[in-house]
Amino acid sequence: MNVLRRCIFSGLLFVYATGMIWCQERGNAVNSFPADSIRLQYLKDCCERADDTPEELLYLDSLLNESEGPENRNFKAYAYRNQIRHYYNAVDWEQAEKVSVPAISFFRREQMLDYLFETQAMIITLYTDRGEFELALQKGREMYKEAKEIGSAGDIAEACYVIAYACYISGRCNDALEWAERGVRLLDGMKDKHMNRMEFYFILAESSRQLNREERVIVYVDSVRRELIDFHLLNPDKPKDYFSYYWIWVYCNEADYELYCNHPAEACSCLKKADKYKQSDIYDTYKDGLYFTWSDYYLAVGDYDQATACLDTAAYYLQLRHSGENPDVCRRRAVIAAKKGDYKQATEELRHCVQIADSLSCARFDCQSHQLRSFFHINQLETERKKQSLVIHFQLILAFSLALALLLLCYLCYRFYRIKCLLAVAVKEAVEADENTSVFLSNMTRVVNDFLQETSAFSESLIRETEMEKRQEYAVSLCSRNELAQRVIFDILDVSKIESDRMQFHYEDVNLARLVREVYMKMQSFATEEVRLCLLPVKEMRMTADPIRLAQVLENILHCAFLHAKSGEVSFGYQAEGEEVVFFVSCKGIVFSEEACQFMFDRLAQTASKLENIQLGMVISRGLIMKMGGRMSMPVRTESGCRIEFVMPLKHI
């Protein structure tokens, strides 16, 4: 009993496992696997096993939907490419074109050029097969241009093929020869391009036959034979009938050439070789051509019944590929009837052939006219778009130029306004300077007149006075007043030179320690018991300056300090700060009021008083410092008095 139970349980497990495997193979249990690379590889293997079957589309859809992310881009590309290939083999134009739009966009974005150009080639070939030759040629030229920019030689050859194929099918045989030869040259030397070269040689042979170049046809046929032999040598694992339709085509063309040379026995031998591959051609690709050639052979040997039978078989296979009557079949029937002596039937067949040819020509003409008309409108729209684009670009450039001109005009107006303001300020300053100069000259004239009158009075008193002591007193007073007048006049001349920028400076390397010691020695004569002069310790330092003018500045400042000091101490020195030297004069017990500071630096205010009250030393010092590239500040109050500073650069620029 236990054995029976075990057998039943094992049988149920076997049935369950078999059912699961069947469901997985049918695609019904495909979503039971984890969404990883193992599952995607499994789906890809299922696609390869279900080649060109409805189940293949199920696997491809699942593979496409689940291969998200950059790491699965190869699976996604495989799914896109094989979907298009499936619809291409099934001649489902609408679905192939629908799938190609996202596929081509994906291939371009991911830079997968092999998939990109292969997909474009399949779609363009579909356009050719459904008779849209102009669209196929336009798309082919666009593909050729893109392949030349970013593709390899193989990609350019792919574009050459689709153009050559469209030219051959549409009857442009010379153009087909040109593009096919260009493609063969591009593929020269590539070992893995046997299929591509055979396709080019096929177009070359068929186009040459259309142009009645039979000698060239057999050359291209031999080239296809060599490519087939080389392929099998490089791929010994492939079956002998791997390219069965090409072997049929080669032997049929060789048979045609033997019939052309009037060698029916050799033609029959070639056709028998072609018959060996007939069963392997599952797509019936070239069986119509095989039976057409058999019909030509039987016609050549006089077996008209067999020729007619083979012609009917060829027409059947041709009807499978292209619906509708073919004028070539009618022409061959007319030839057979004429050989049999049935001229009436031959005439009927020829008349029918002409009608079919005219009908096909009209249909093709209407189709191509419609395509050309569409392309003419497209070209017109493209031309108009380019014109509009040029107009828009011109308008943008014009608007930009106008905006730039407006900005330039605004800038020029602003500059004009600024210059006008600066000129107004300069004019105002010039007027003020002129007025100040007039006031200065007027004051100096008055001061000099007063001084001369006082001097004249002293001189008259000196002349009239008889006492020697008073005469000596008047003489000393006159001498001191003359010295004062001389100093004031020299100061006025210095101020004039500074303001007129005529003061000359002679720059040289100056030893500052020596210079301040010389100033100290010279200014010792102004020191008294109440007001002492002190030189602070300084470091040895050198700078570029005019030593005479620099000493004059220091002397003027020290002289001003002594004039205002009643008691205390006047000390001076310098110190380095970076690329500058700070000179300072410290006055202990001396405080300058704000009015006194303004008076020291205002030449007009000083010239308004008497000659003996004019002290232009500080005015001259500030002017000299500024001319030598320095700066001077107003006296600053300190805890013990005040401090006067000025800054000079170490090197004159």
Let me know: does 121 contact 161? Beta carbons within 8 Å: yes
Q: Are 590 and 565 in contact (CB under 8 A)?
A: yes
Q: Does the predicted model carry a pTM greater than 0.75?
A: no
CA separation for the pair 610, 453 (Å, rounded): 12
Q: Of 610, 609, 557, whose CA–CA distance to 587 is shortest?
A: 557
- The pLDDT confidence band at residue 530, using thresholds 50, 70 and 90, is confident
pLDDT reported for residue 626: 86
User: Among the listed ranges 254-258, 280-284, 416-420, 541-545, which one has the minimum average pLDDT value?
Assistant: 280-284
How far is Cα 304 from Cα 441, in angstroms, rounded to an integer? 141
* pLDDT over threshold 80, residue 280: no
Residues 189 and 208 sit within 8 Å (Cβ to Cβ) = no
pLDDT at 166: 92
Q: What pLDDT was estimated at residue 596?
A: 64
Whether the per-residue pLDDT at 323 is higher than 80: the answer is no
pLDDT of residue 34: 44
User: Count of domains in the chain?
Assistant: 1
CATH number at residue 590: 3.30.565.10
CA distance 90 to 605: 112
**pLDDT attached to residue 16:** 46
Confidence band, pLDDT 50/70/90 cuts, at residue 612: low
pLDDT reported for residue 180: 93
Banded pLDDT at 37 (limits 50, 70, 90): confident
166 in Cβ contact with 204 (< 8 Å): no
Does 541 map to a domain?
A: yes
The whole-angstrom separation of Cα 196 and Cα 223 is 12
* φ, ψ for residue 533, nearest 5 deg: -115, 130
Q: Which helix (H) or strand (E) holds 129?
A: helix 113-129
Could you report the per-residue pLDDT of 196-248, keeping only the tens digit for each?
Answer: 889 999 999 999 988 988 889 999 999 999 988 888 888 888 887 778 888 88
Distances (CA, A) of 202 to 198, 216, 253: 6, 12, 11
pLDDT at 560 over 90: no
pLDDT at position 31, please? 44
Q: Are 594 and 642 in contact (CB under 8 A)?
A: no
pLDDT range class, residue 176, cuts 50, 70, 90: very high
Instruction: Report the candidate in 154, 241, 165, 158 with the shortest Cα–Cα distance to residue 202.
Output: 165
Residue 284: pLDDT above 70? no
The alpha carbon dihedral of 356, 362, 366, 367 has a sign of positive
* Within a domain: 518: yes
Helix (H, G, I), strand (E, B) or coil at 587: strand
Domain assignment of residue 114, yes or no: no
Residue 269: per-residue pLDDT? 92
**Per-residue confidence (pLDDT) for residue 159, from 0 to 100:** 92
Torsion sign, CA atoms 226, 232, 235, 238: positive
Alpha carbon distance 454, 356 (integer Å) = 142
Residue 644 belongs to domain spanning: 508-649
Q: Is residue 156 part of a domain?
A: no
Mean predicted confidence (pLDDT) in 533-543? 87
| Cross-strand bridge partners of residue 542 | 511
Name which of 123-132, 241-250, 433-442 the model is least confident about: 433-442
**68-77, 244-253, 319-328, 500-509: which range is least confident on average?**
319-328
1: pLDDT strictly greater than 70: no
Least confident range from 1-15, 486-500, 548-562, 601-615: namely: 1-15
| pLDDT reported for residue 28 | 43
Which has more pLDDT, 32 or 78? 78
> What is the reported pLDDT for 23?
46
Distance CA 423, CA 430 (A): 10
Instruction: Report the share of the chain in percent with pLDDT over 90.
Output: 13
So what's the pLDDT on residue 372? 56
pLDDT at position 473 over 50: yes
At residue 17, the pLDDT reads 47
Mean pLDDT score, 121-133: 87
CA distance 48 to 60: 10
Residue 600, domain member (yes or no): yes
Say what the pLDDT of residue 407 is: 92
Pseudo-torsion of CA 215, 218, 223, 227, nearest 10°? 170
Q: Is pLDDT above 90 for 179?
A: yes
Reported as a single tens digit per residue, the pLDDT across 445-457 is 666 666 666 677 7
- What pLDDT is attached to residue 174? 93
Please determine, for residue 533, whether its predicted confidence score (pLDDT) is greater than 70. Answer: yes
Q: Is the four-CA dihedral 230, 235, 237, 238 of positive or negative sign?
A: negative
Q: What's the pLDDT score for residue 266?
A: 92
pLDDT of residue 624: 85
CA pseudo-torsion sign 556, 577, 503, 425: negative
Q: Is residue 569 part of a domain?
A: yes
pLDDT of 20 strictly over 50:
no
Q: Give the mean model confidence (pLDDT) for residues 423-437.
A: 77
- pLDDT attached to residue 409: 92
| Integer Cα distance of 133 and 363 in angstroms | 14
